[in-house]
Amino acid sequence: MPKRIGLVTYETPFAPCGGIAAVMSRLPGALDRATKCPVGVITPYHRHIAPTTAARAEMDPVATVRVTRGPMGLDVDILRHPGRAGYAVPHYFVAPRDHSSFAGARHPYDVPAHELLEDALLFGVAVARATEAIAPGAQWLLMVHDWEAATAALAAQRDTHRVLLTLHNSYDCGVTDAQLAHHGIDAATCPGETVLQRVLGLPNVAGPVSTVSTQFAADLTEDVLQARIMAPHLQHLLRPRLRGIENGLFVERQVPDDCVAAMRRGDYQPFANWKHGRRAEALAQLDRLVPTETLPVWGDRRRFDRDSRAAWFVLAGRDDPRQKGYEVAAAAVTRFLESGGDARFVFFPMPGDLGLGALSFLMRLACRFPDRVLVMPFRWTDGYLAALQGGTYGVMPSLYEPFGMANEFYLNGLAAVGRATGGLLQQIVPFRTARCFTPAVQWRADRWSQPATPPTGLLCREPDDESAAEAWRELNAIEDDRADPTYDRAHARRTLPLINAMARALATAFDDAVTVYRNQPTLYYEMVREGLAHVERTFSWERSSREYLKAADALDW
């Protein structure tokens, strides 16, 4: 019986939102190189998302399948795209003919919650039929990513199909027997109250469950936020089965080869010169930038202090109130600057579902400290990389972090500052004599690095507290009010002791980082050198693909 591998995912580079799309730009090709089995990606046709619709002309029809949806059923076209450089494996798009499903515009999940569940169930049953059309009689390994794609396991309960579930976060969704029956899925074969509860009980999903870092696998059952607040209903199903399969690197090294070679010899001047040039380029691009109402620059570009000796802290990424920690960073920056700290902070937040208004607290931060803070809440194609590479430290104040982008900081020539959580603990080797290296950091970091390991950055963490569960519950109870454009989540959260504790820890890390950069420049350059070597030595997509194939062996595939 021929074997096939299908990566089943709700988002791809054709319809990106977050980390899964980044993984799908790298992992499929690595798997294809690591196995003799044909590899393909199966994903929805998100009809309002530009990269998907732009690729329509390159897609060929494979088949039209009939799937169950209520009493009438629904025709679904399966379209094949050959793939592109970087993710050059076939992509199979599930395209319902009713033109009402998969209607997210800004990203694949940009629909009301009840519609997302209906779309996910439709996607799952369509995947089960698509596999028959793509390779009749084949034995499939379906590598499903998060609950939206895990629905495929509910519909593909066949002896010839095996399912490997990968969790990029602990989000889940309740689903009733009636909703399953509406899509032709027998609820008696998959008891439970949520998608993941039902999937994790299936015989063809009986093997390991993977996450995108070993530390996040531990966090899912050990960390208060994950184990007691976000996913308590999954603990008995996950504990015996979790394993971490680390992601590879998402970008190529941007530090010039001659700079890296000189750094290895202990000569840091070429690297310092390169960074100085990149910062000058960023400032030149900033001067040429023409802000608009939808592409604003918050802060005063003319008053922004351009002292070449100053440390720049750079923060970037999509705004996610439940994960990113921008409001923690804003509170920490305020503490640091009010206490006389001297550094520059450059934010590149990508607005989330609530738009620019949800980031108004960063606008107020920049207005309060116009010579120290700049915020550019849009994709700044011309200047972002120059600003990143001209920066000193990349910052991740994450409330939780499955894998994290610290590796991208090192590959662009920065050291990293992060909260000691998830994959950041594996990417950042902490400077242990810093004030921010507290007992709460130490017992977590000791799992991954020894005291003698050369540091690559700074980790911080609020003190562990017996009341942490209630504190996290209170934090998660504060939701963004989508109906009120004046709602300010940072203002609502800044009264919480937990947020204040995080901000104090991060402000201390800022102070420690500036002290290193100013008073121990050789140590700073060694951090960057060692961090770059650490991530290139430790993380690769080839290693990831081998680990996924080992996990598949446990499924008797």
* Tens digits of residue pLDDT in 229-270: 999 999 999 998 999 999 999 999 999 999 999 999 999 999
Q: Determine the average pLDDT of the residues in 495-524.
A: 96
Inform me whether the pLDDT recorded for 351 exceeds 60. Answer: yes
Has residue 402 got a pLDDT over 90?
A: yes
**Is residue 373's pLDDT more than 70?**
yes
- Tell me what pLDDT residue 18 has: 86
Look at residue 88 in the predicted model and tell me its pLDDT.
Answer: 81
* Per-residue pLDDT at 204: 86
pLDDT for position 491: 78
- Note the pLDDT tens digit of each residue in 443-489: 999 999 999 999 999 999 999 988 889 989 988 877 655 556 566 77
- SS3 of 396-419: the string is ECCCCCCCCCHHHHHHCCCEEEEE
| Residue 64, beta-bridge partner list | 77
Cβ contact 17:2 at 8 Å = no
Tell the burial category of 182 from Cβ atoms under 10 Å away from its Cβ (0-12, 13-18, 19+).
middle
pLDDT at position 477: 79
From CA 198, how far away is CA 201, in angstroms rounded? 6
* Alpha helices in 49-112, H assignment, sequence order: 50-54
Instruction: Assess whether pLDDT exceeds 90 at residue 66.
Output: yes
The answer on pLDDT for 520 being more than 60 is: yes
Q: Tell whether the model's pLDDT for residue 401 goes beyond 60.
A: yes
Task: Check: CB of residue 12 under 8 Å from CB of residue 41.
Answer: yes
Residue-range domains of the chain with CATH: 3-200 (3.40.50.2000), 257-539 (3.40.50.2000)
* Mean pLDDT along residues 43-60: 97
Mean pLDDT of the chain: 94
- Strand 161-167, strand 3-8: pairing: unpaired
Region 76-82: what's the mean pLDDT?
Answer: 97
Please name the helix (run of DSSP H) or strand (run of DSSP E) that holds residue 143, with its range, or none: strand 139-145
| Rounded average pLDDT over 354-383 | 93
Closest CA to 374 of 422, 333, 320, 434: 333
Residue 156 has pLDDT above 80, yes or no: yes
